[in-house]
Each structure stands twice: as structure tokens, then as C-alpha cells.
Structure 1
């Protein structure tokens, strides 16, 4: 009986440790809704879990990387939250679609306005971003999470390659290799494909026409042969008939 009680207590303790560990390691992260390809545009979600049992999250500040400024940053409205977009002057202007961009969004702040993230819950904050840089494999967004008890958690530590994840890692968006579609190559490929299909269609038509001509030629040869045989039979019949009359 004592052994059973000890085993039960050990199991409960282990479960508690796992639950607490899961809560402790939950952190603000960024997740793409679609493919985040270099040189393109993407909609991403900043996922904010509440890590506290006695406080609610009431504010999120997301700082955009200044070394890779983005010309287009648009937040999606989140019910119960007020959003403020902050811009800053660029040290080096960006050229987008032939236009010079001298300032870009440096920070986006969501503040509770009739809502909040309660213990045991999480909230997602969507952003549309573009154009994504082509000279890096990731974007690091440093974030600040504020609770209603005035506590501020700074998710700003960058993960070093080969090193364990830091205690408060910054959200990181991984970028995939650019596809031809991201640079307008899709239309060219489609056009080329259509051209190949059209050429293939012409080839099929030509083959069909050739087969038809060959079939007609064969039919004509057969009919001609039949006619010749009929003529020979007629001549033979005439000769035999003449011989019978002579007899």
C-alpha cells in the first residue's frame, strides 16, 4: 500500500513539474499564416500567451528591425485592442516601385481597450509585412509584454547559433528562398507553358491530319484495287461468253 501511495505522489509531482515547465517556456512568438518568402509580402501573427496566474496582459510592443526596414507594415484590427503605429526616419532611403521611402514603421503597439489576455489564455496580433528583405534568412522582432500589475517582460534576447535558447527569446521570423512567382516569373512560366501546350496541340493536330490523309490514301488504294479486279473479272466474263457463242 505504501509503495502505491509513493508511486501516486511521484506521478502527481512529475505532472506538476511538466505543467509548470510548459507555462514557464511559453513566450511571445511570430508565426506566418502563409509562406514568408524573401522579396515578397506576408501576413504574420504575433502570438502572446499569458504566463502569469495572478495578472493579465494589457499591452504588447513589437519593435521592427532597423537593419532591415520594411516599407509596408499594416496591422489588422483586433477587437478590444487599440493599435498605434510608430514611424522613424531611415538612415538610408528605400526605393520601392520607383519611389524613395524616407521613413518606415519602427514599432507597433497594441493596448487593451476593453479586453485583455487573462491567465491561461493567449491572443494573436496580425501584421501584414513587405517587401521582405532578400539579404537575410530571418527577421528578429524585439517585444515587450506588459501585465496589469505593471510587470514588463522583455522578449529581446537573440538566440545564438549552437547555443541553447535564452530565457526571454525575441520572436524570430524565418525567411525562405524567393520563388520566381515573387518576382513576376510566374506569368512568364505560365505563358511559356501555354505556348508549349499550344505547340503540343498543333503537333497533335498535324499528327491527326497526317493520320487522316494516310487513312484516305489507303482507302483510295483499296477502292482502286477493287476496281481493277472488277475490270479484270468483266473482261474474263466477256471472253468466256464469246467462246460459248462461237461454239
Structure 2
């Protein structure tokens, strides 16, 4: 009888441990997937009717291949007159424009074409396994009649694999397998310049070379940009830390349940 009890106890403990292992694997896999998408993140605000500096964040999802090309497409139903990439060492950027069916008016001038695509190609660099790369862009003038812009992206690896991040997320629905990067637009600001400066000769010099309304770079503008970056980085770090702690808590809970059941079975035996 005692032998039968011990056998039953061991079998139950094995089942609990197996269930815990499956739950652990699911948590780890899901947490890894959540960080693997190509995304777009504004520096500060991206206000309607204004200008903004954004980063296209590209993680490498593969263990045996490197990312060597990225293509980001811009919607022509809500065209942007100005899309300027900031130089990224080791990468070549190419801006493609397309004619508009309806001319766009900006600062009193009619614009017949707009940027439809920006392509970055590795030129002495690449995004290796376990790495990510950010590609900064200056965008404007942002539309005033929509709440977001969907920027469909295509990621290419050096083994010729192509991943299309083109599925538009829907409110209330599960996240698609390959979601497109989405830039959320905030309410229009009073100066119509959002979280970035209007395009100028200094825009391609980097985030610290933002110009004011008079075309000159001011100390206050630099300080404001630095504070915005600090807040954004802090928020991102806090969010990542919270997710990691949540995953750790779940794993500890699973281990505790398995240990408690096993100990209880042994005492009963």
C-alpha cells in the first residue's frame, strides 16, 4: 500500500512539474515575442499638424542571420511633404518620392509629390543576432485629420529571408503576427511644431541640432530636447524592468507551487 502511495505521489509531482515547465516556456516565449517587432517611437510628441523626430527600431529575430536591409513605406493618402533620414554609420539611406493625385499645400506652396518610401541598406554594417538598430527620421508636416500613421516595413536578412511587417493592428483584436509599426499622433500643439523642429539645413546633423522658429539653434531648445529624451529613455527602461520583474514573479510562483505540492505528497506518504 505504501509503495502504491509513493508511486502515485511521484506521478502527481511529475505532472505538476511538467505543467510548470510548460507554463514557464510559454511565458518566456511570449515575453520574447513582445519585444521582437519593428516599431516606430517618437522623440517627445508627434503632434498633429507639426513636425517630429522618430526612431524606427529594428531588432534581429534570428540566431543564424543578420539584418542587412530595411524598407519603410509611408501612406500617400495622408502624405508627408518632408521625410529626412539622419545618417547612420554603416548604412546607406535612399528616399523615394511618388507623385500625388491631389497636390499638397504647405507654407503657401503646392507640392505635387511626397516621400513614399525610405530604404536603408547595409554599407559596412549589419544588425547581428541579439542586436537592434535605430534609424532616426525627421517627419512633417504631420496630418491633422488622423490619429495615427501606419508605416509598413519590410526587413531583409543576409540569408535572403524577408519579413513583412505590414499587418495593421485593429482595436479590440489580437495583435497580428507581423504588425506594422504605428506612429500615434497627439493633439495639435499651439505652435504646430509638435515634438520636433521644422525641417531645416541643420535637421540632418542629428537630434541636438534642432532649429527654432527663427532658424537659429538655441540653448533652450537643446535643453528641452535633452529633457524629452531623458524622460522617454526613463519611461522605456521602467516599462522593460516591469515586464522582466513580472516574468520573474510568475516563474517564482510556478516553482513555489510545484515545490509545495511535492512536499505535501511526501509528508502524506
Q: Give TM-score scaled by structure 1 length.
A: 0.69
Conserved? CA contact 1:23–1:51, under 8 Å = no
Show the counterpart of 1:149.
159
Q: Where does the alignment leave 5 or more consecutive residues of structure 1 unmatched? A: 188-247
Report what 1:128 is aligned to.
138
Alpha-carbon distance, 1:11 to partner? 5.5
What is the rounded CA distance, in whole Å, between the counterparts of 2:128 and 2:17 in structure 1? 32
Residues 40 and 181 in structure 2, CA contact (< 8 A), matched pair in contact too: yes
Q: In structure 1, what is the Cα distance between the partners aligned to 2:99 and 2:44?
A: 30
Q: How many residues align structurally? A: 185
Aligned equivalent of 1:23: 32
SS of equivalent residue, structure 2 residue 171: coil
* In 2: Cα distance, 1:73 partner to 1:5 partner: 58
The CA distance in 1 between the partners of 2:21 and 2:65, in whole Å, is 26
The higher radius of gyration belongs to: 1
Paired position in structure 2 for 1:116? 126
Deviations 1:98-136 (A, max 9, x none): 111111110000011111111111111111000000000
Match for 1:44 among 40, 54, 69? 54
Corresponding residue of 2:224? none
2:70–2:154 CA contact under 8 A, matched in 1: yes
RMSD of aligned alpha carbons = 2.3
1:8 CA displacement: 6.8
TM-score w.r.t. structure 2 length?
0.63
Please list every run of 5 or more consecutive structure 2 residues that lacks an aligned counterpart in the other structure: 1-8, 194-212, 214-269
